[in-house]
Structure 1
Amino acid sequence: MNPVRHRGAVRHSPDHQGAVPLPATHNPKHLNRLERFLRTAAEAIHTCDQDPAQEQDDDGHLLDTEGYGWAAHRRDRSLWYAYLPVRSHADALLTTATAQLDMLPQESRPAWASKIAALARAADTLEAGHDRLMRELREHLTGAANPNLASVDLSVTEFFDEAWPALDVWAGGGSAVTELNTTVHGTAPPPAPNPALRLVSGGVTGWSRC
């Protein structure tokens, strides 16, 4: 099968010639942290979707664009901080999930592989964005008598805004890791967020307007 690429690395499946077999059992602590992230993310997205700034006029235009922007910013910031404990173990989660793909019947692998690959790409995107933020902050805060705090605030705000699509991938698709684990090992997965919380009509993605 094809390798899954994430965090700039390539993880080969156990049947890949010359590759080292990958562990096929998750650390329970990693799954618990993913579970907490999924619950927190669902709550943050639901809160944003219910914000009064979502109100629209008869033509479908937002009545409070500034309020909408702040609601989305709070959502994005909450998701990033909720993701941090998962970020520490994203490689391990994805590596184990990749190994588990080879324990599935051949015909069911592509669908699962697509879900895991999407999470891997999102993790890469978040890492690249964070690296860029760190470079910008160093430029703003070092080598100057008066640090440019306004630029710091702008860089952080832009980071949260740009992180939203990748965080949304993990919020909406992170449960694939636990579901795949259940499929392979037959153990009960951690509770996943209620999808109904995110079924909001009129959104760009069909999940959330915020």
Structure 2
Amino acid sequence: MENLITRNDIMENQTFFWFSYFSWFRGFDEINELNIDEALANVIQVDTDKINKWSETFFSSINGKQRFIGGKLSKNLSFQIEFLEEEITFYINEQYIGNLGGHFEAWYLTLDEISVFEKYDFIFLLLLPMVGITKNELDFTKELISKNLKSIPKFKNQSEYISECIANGLVMHGEFYTDEKIGIVNNQNHSVRNINKYPDYRENVLKLNNTLK
């Protein structure tokens, strides 16, 4: 499928791909008051105009179909990330878990759940913006992200700083808790795992909880 972004596609353009992808994140440099895209531009020496042009071409639709990354990870687990013009949308087992864009929805996965995806090539970093953490988990999350960033040559020397910016955007104001009938849910705004605010996603959350536990 021409619109499928493969591992080879990512490997061939690692710096441009990850710079473009991370720029969508909600991360920020708290001390210098920079959004993640500005923070990246300060420490990764690349031509941002070239990256923007590359990104527009690379993620543009092919034959009317949006580009996506996805596939089966195991017998019971699959994922898909779709690159739309105004947003990036995320699915696990064809169940919608959130998006990055102007009206973002995120904070779906717990730190324990995302840690399981480390064994899959790149999947940890790809699903990272859907993670929600508490302030108490911030330091451990930074270390985990930094370790994974070191696999990207251009980001290796700045992995600690970039991981801090990314982790800042994962901190929730709400929290995860266990519902007796559904399993893990949360009370965080902008998360479809908040079944009180998004009751239509109740069955989807139940299905994914059974897969992820």
User: TM-score with structure 1 length normalisation?
Assistant: 0.30
Structure ranking higher in helix proportion: 1
- Which is higher, the Rg of structure 1 or of structure 2? 1
Higher relative contact order (CA 8 A, sep 6+): 1
Structure ranking higher in strand proportion: 2
